[in-house]
Amino acid sequence: MTLFETIDRIDRIHRLIQMEATGNAEEFAERIHLKKRHIYNIIEEFKSRGADIQYNRERLTYYYANKLVSDYKMIAFYHL
């Protein structure tokens, strides 16, 4: 995978979380063509960089608990 493909994937993950449109972990993985375990790893990486990501069992989606997450913060994620 090239650098730009990685950036695009990270951006897509971020946007799905931001829109609260991820589905459960299995659906999320299918949407971005990854294995479920990889989704968990990515979420943990986002959390280690300050994102407060939670899962809503009623709505079946991941979301940012701190609504202050903005696109400018994603620049830090691009340096994975």
Which residue reads 């079946």 in tokens? Answer: 60
pTM assigned to the model: 0.82
Please write the tens of the pLDDT for every residue from 6-38: 888 999 999 999 999 999 999 999 999 999 999
Q: Answer yes or no: are the C-beta atoms of 22 and 28 closer than 8 Å.
A: yes
Q: What is the DSSP letter of 24?
A: S
Select 3-77's CATH number: 3.30.70.260, 3.50.50.60, 1.10.357.10, 1.10.10.10: 1.10.10.10
Q: Answer yes or no: are the C-beta atoms of 22 and 16 closer than 8 Å.
A: yes
In the chain, where are the structural domains located? 3-77
Q: At 34, which helix (H) or strand (E)?
A: none
- The encoded tokens of residue 26 equal 């299995």
pLDDT band (50, 70, 90) for residue 1: confident
Which residues, 6+ apart, have CB-to-CB distance to 32 below 8 Å? Answer: 9, 12, 13, 16, 39
Distance CA 74, CA 72 (A): 5
